[in-house]
Structure 1
């Protein structure tokens, strides 16, 4: 008769490892570094997030106008010739002064002609219908707001609050302050139209250069590399 070998029961992998290392003592330092790293005393609770400090961007301080609303002759500085030109244009040709201001504010090919023609049309229409320049200020007053925004200038309301100290809460509310400044820009153009145009012309000539005098930059291109024709084999 054939000898039947004794069949060992199947053992799992964990039981096999226990059988191999049977009788050996497990060292006390096993996983010591792992336990020290994840000690409960050093772990921060998940329900208590750390305080994160986010730096707020600094708002640049607004600058005052360099000339006043009624400083028709300027401030007797190095721009005295330009101030006299602005005064003459504001008195006899406000359409040209407005077009020149818009050309410096929004440089472009047809900026001067388009704004000058639109202003002239409203100027003559206002004199024909209402015997006065009452339509052009409604068209030109946004230039004052655009000039304030582009150069971060103080408005009439903010300068008045800084000078008197009253209604200081108005300066802290940006949206409310901007609505108030827009109304004051319209009032300045409607009540003192020529003075407002002259002030804007003096201010933008002190801060920007005429587009015709700005340096022009041309894109330089490198010449192509020298090509050599190889003889065909």
Structure 2
């Protein structure tokens, strides 16, 4: 039970040529965690102190910002904040919405569900979870503090600047 068992050796090939062989190990009774690691850890709140303080006092605002980005502007930050705020006194049920959006973020970027399951992270470490989600989006170039429209405007400004730099100069001629 819970032991690592070795199966037969598996050969990998590239274009029909054997590359290497390695033992195919698996662990019984344990689900494998597949995915990319998060860009920061769950307890790395100190990496973005402004967001950490905001989340400590107003977690509903941080949730609203994250929800707006993940929903591509369909849910506004004020609406997301309001829903989260309503769920807080209702038997502390804000973890339901928080874990739903954490799962959405993980699925979008292929992130591993670690160090805890999404629901567990939001039940016991909701502020740390929100901060980690905020940092993940920010590290991927989607700063939730800007809002969805701000992100789109920023991307268009960067794209416009690149287009202008890549265009050859127009034909020039001298005249009297």
Specify the TM-score bucket, using the shorter chain as the normaliser: 0.5 to 0.7
* 3-state SS of paired residue (1:154): coil
Residues 104 and 208 of structure 1 are in contact (CA less than 8 Å); yes or no, is this contact kept in structure 2?
no
Hey, what's the Cα distance between the residues in 1 that align with 2:125 and 2:142? 26
* 3-state SS of paired residue (1:84): helix
* 3-state SS of paired residue (2:45): coil
- 2:77 aligned partner: 112
After superposition, the Cα gap between the structure-2 partners of 1:71 and 1:138, relative to the gap in structure 1 and judged at 3 Å, is same
After superposition, the Cα gap between the structure-2 partners of 1:110 and 1:154, relative to the gap in structure 1 and judged at 3 Å, is closer
TM-score relative to the length of structure 2: 0.60
Hey, what's the Cα distance between the residues in 2 that align with 1:110 and 1:155? 24
Residues 65 and 203 of structure 1 are in contact (CA less than 8 Å); yes or no, is this contact kept in structure 2?
yes
After superposition, the Cα gap between the structure-2 partners of 1:144 and 1:110, relative to the gap in structure 1 and judged at 3 Å, is closer
- 2:136 aligned partner: 203
After superposition, the Cα gap between the structure-2 partners of 1:153 and 1:110, relative to the gap in structure 1 and judged at 3 Å, is closer
Hey, what's the Cα distance between the residues in 1 that align with 2:72 and 2:155? 11
1:122 aligns to 2:87 (yes or no): yes
Matches within 5 A, 1:183-222: 184-210=117-143, 211=148, 212=150, 213-215=154-156
1:156 aligns to 2:114 (yes or no): yes
- 2:39 aligned partner: 66
Two-structure CA RMSD over aligned residues (Å): 2.3
Matches within 5 A, 1:6-21: none
Residues 51 and 131 of structure 2 are in contact (CA less than 8 Å); yes or no, is this contact kept in structure 1?
yes
Hey, what's the Cα distance between the residues in 2 that align with 1:200 and 1:189? 11
Q: Deviations over 1:83-131 (max 9, x none)?
A: 12210111011000001111221221542122111011112x23xxx5x
Q: Deviations over 1:158-200 (max 9, x none)?
A: xxxxxxxxxxxxxxxxxxxxxxx8xx11011001111111111
Q: Where in structure 2 are there 5+ consecutive unaligned residues? A: 1-33, 160-176
Aligned residues: 118
- 1:136 aligned partner: 94
Hey, what's the Cα distance between the residues in 2 that align with 1:62 and 1:197? 20
Greater strand proportion: 2
- 1:25 aligned partner: none
Could you list the structure 1 runs, at least 4 aligned residues long, displaced by more than 4 angstroms after superposition.
Answer: none
Matches within 5 A, 1:87-106: 87-106=52-71
Q: Which has the larger radius of gyration?
A: 1
